């Protein structure tokens, strides 16, 4: 049984293919999964709540504003207690709402509130599927890291022929198993991640820092923990919450960050996503520096901070098997990243453009290039969560002997 102990939240959308969900529930259960269902209002036009409840062996959730449902199982818990959310059939309407981040009913609210992977099985008329609006939704959902199975091509219920048919229940079960099968890919490995900015004190009330929000580094910690790694996140000050199952060490300065990283060794993998200040103040003032009338502003002199990535990459018994740096560049992104990889002796470097207007610092999306010894792979613009998942899967593939960064 490939899905033993896994919990699936199945969201049944409003399309003729909804009838296939009855078989899907059975097949997921046959593989050992527990299935809880949300039936949309349109979905209930095609299958009855009674048949869904009878097959799933659980209550069917339908109403965002149901006092009894919310009292028993709030919509947040409903989406968080699952290992995976499956949307089948994913109609054009549901996909457009997901892509736009709308949350006007129980299904879309659960989808927006979840921190778990989502798999969609689209089904619709062929013209609806190929419509630019639907294709825009598909692209947005892909960039958000939503997995998709289908649609298949063939005769459609509307009498037309082409892509738009929901794939069979057995194919959805295979896609679910693939998606959740990755859960143990980094089991038994320890991964150290740095995230966020550092703060270098000028005096007790002022500091030097940068715009890093920690979104990218924290997303990586979440993604590697989801693949089963023992995860240590050394983070500068951020507003991000520490992902479940991740051990966090909170630091302020580059020197604190280096000490925390060294204390976390040995590790199999180190990923340096933090924006570490290259310099600190040479003489940090013990008391708040005072402004006095007529006096010139103080001249701050800087000294170089230790380089954490270069330190972790140094050959030696404690060197992680794979060290991955990030390169934040505002020009010549790839060339500078290649040069940085060589200078700092790390194995891979993830290059990203942080120039004004990209929104990389603090934003939700990132466009990265994975630079390894064998070359460069350009990734499409994705959410930081999707970048993190892809990086975690690439690392797992490398450690498990499947491929290098540039393959
Ligand atoms: O936090 P977000 O708002 O989500 O933004 C994400 C990000 C832009 C911060 C992230 O994607 C990123 O690019 N992180 C690296 C930022 C950086 O400091 O880049 P750099 O090119 O200056 O440094 C190269 C590498 O050396 C990085 O891995 C950095 O962590 C490391 N470094 C730098 C200086 C230093 N003293 N010690 C280091 O370890």
**What is the helix (H) or strand (E) element at residue 281, kind and residue range?**
strand 279-281
| Residue 76: per-residue pLDDT | 81
In this structure, which long-range contacts are made by residues 368-371, counting pairs with CB atoms below 8 Å and at least 24 apart in sequence? 369/333, 369/334, 369/337, 370/394, 370/405, 370/406, 371/327, 371/334, 371/337, 371/338, 371/341, 371/405, 371/406
Asked if residues 62 and 41 have their Cβ atoms less than 8 Å apart, the reply is yes
| 86 Cβ closer than 6 Å to some ligand 1 atom | no
Distance 354 CA to ligand 1 centre (A): 10
| Residue 407: per-residue pLDDT | 46
| 313 Cβ closer than 6 Å to some ligand 1 atom | no
Mutational test site, ligand 1, from 212, 260, 271, max ligand atoms within 8 Å of CB: 212
DSSP per-residue string spanning 135-157? HHHHHHHHHTT-EE--PEEEE-T
Question: Closest ligand 1 atom, CA of 216?
Answer: 4
| Residue 42: per-residue pLDDT | 96
Distance 31 CA to ligand 1 centre (A): 43
pTM of the predicted model over 0.85: no
Distance 203 CA to ligand 1 centre (A): 24
Neighbouring-strand partners of residue 372 = 375
**Residue with CA nearest ligand 1 atom 16:** 275
CA-CA-CA-CA dihedral for 41, 45, 48, 53, to nearest 10 = -30
| Residue 67: per-residue pLDDT | 61
7-181 matches 190-399 in fold: yes
- 3.40.50.10190, 3.40.50.1950, 3.40.605.10, 1.10.10.1200: CATH of 7-181: 3.40.50.1950
CATH class of 190-399: alpha beta
Question: CA-to-CA distance for 98 and 108, rounded, in angstroms?
Answer: 7
**What is the helix (H) or strand (E) element at residue 56, kind and residue range?**
helix 49-56
pLDDT tens, position by position, for the chain (407 residues)?
789 899 999 999 999 999 999 999 999 999 999 999 999 999 999 999 999 999 999 999 998 777 666 666 677 888 889 999 999 999 999 999 999 999 999 999 999 999 888 999 999 999 999 999 999 999 999 888 888 999 998 887 878 888 899 999 999 998 998 888 777 899 999 999 999 999 999 999 999 999 999 999 999 999 999 888 999 999 999 999 888 788 999 999 999 999 999 999 999 999 999 999 999 999 999 999 999 888 899 999 999 999 999 999 999 999 999 999 999 999 999 999 999 999 999 999 999 999 989 999 999 999 999 999 999 999 999 999 899 999 999 999 999 885 545 44
Q: Where do the structural domains in the chain lie, given as residue ranges?
A: 7-181, 190-399
As annotated, the active-site residues are 158
Q: For 353-385, how does the pLDDT look when each residue is reduced to its tens digit (9 = 90+)? A: 999 899 999 999 999 999 999 999 999 999 998
Question: CA-to-CA distance for 75 and 27, rounded, in angstroms?
Answer: 25
Question: CA-to-CA distance for 38 and 69, rounded, in angstroms?
Answer: 11
| 98 Cβ closer than 6 Å to some ligand 1 atom | no
Question: CA-to-CA distance for 90 and 170, rounded, in angstroms?
Answer: 16
């Amino acid at each position: 049984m490939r899905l033993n102990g896994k919990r699936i939240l199945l969201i049944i959308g409003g399309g003729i293919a909804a009838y296939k969900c009855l078989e899907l529930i059975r097949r997921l259960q046959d593989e050992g999964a527990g299935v809880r269902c949300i039936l949309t209002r349109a979905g209930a036009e095609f299958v009855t709540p009674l048949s869904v409840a009878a097959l799933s062996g659980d209550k069917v959730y339908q109403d965002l504003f149901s006092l009894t449902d919310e009292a028993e199982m709030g919509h947040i818990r409903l989406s968080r207690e699952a290992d995976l959310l499956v949307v089948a059939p994913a109609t054009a309407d549901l996909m457009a709402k997901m892509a736009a981040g709308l949350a006007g009913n129980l299904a879309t609210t659960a989808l927006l509130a979840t921190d778990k992977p989502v798999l969609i099985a689209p089904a619709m008329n062929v013209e609806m599927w190929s419509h630019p609006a639907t294709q825009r939704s598909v692209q947005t959902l892909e960039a958000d890291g939503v997995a998709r199975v289908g649609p298949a091509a063939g005769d459609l219920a509307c009498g037309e022929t082409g892509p738009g048919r929901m794939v069979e229940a057995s194919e959805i079960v295979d896609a679910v198993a693939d998606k959740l099968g990755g859960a143990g890919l980094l089991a038994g490995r320890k991964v150290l991640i740095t995230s966020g900015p550092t703060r270098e004190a000028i005096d007790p009330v002022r500091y030097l820092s940068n715009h890093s929000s920690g979104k990218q580094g924290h997303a990586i910690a979440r993604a590697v923990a989801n693949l089963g790694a023992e995860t240590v996140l050394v983070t500068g000050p951020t507003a991000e919450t520490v992902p479940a199952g991740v051990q966090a060490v909170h630091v302020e300065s580059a020197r604190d960050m280096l000490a925390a990283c060294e204390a976390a060794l040995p590790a199999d993998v180190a990923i340096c996503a933090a924006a570490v200040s290259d310099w600190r103040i040479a003489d940090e003032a013990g008391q708040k520096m005072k402004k006095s009338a007529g006096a010139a502003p103080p001249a701050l002199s800087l000294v170089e901070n230790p380089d954490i990535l270069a330190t972790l990459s140094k050959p030696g018994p404690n060197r992680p098997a794979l060290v991955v740096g990030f390169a934040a560049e505002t020009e010549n992104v790839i060339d500078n990243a290649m040069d940085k990889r060589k200078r700092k002796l790390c194995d891979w470097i993830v290059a990203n453009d942080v120039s004004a207007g990209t929104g990389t610092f603090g934003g939700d999306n990132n466009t990265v290039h994975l630079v390894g010894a064998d070359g460069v792979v350009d990734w499409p613009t994705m959410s930081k969560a999707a970048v993190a998942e892809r990086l975690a899967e690439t690392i797992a593939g490398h450690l498990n002997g499947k491929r290098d960064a540039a393959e």
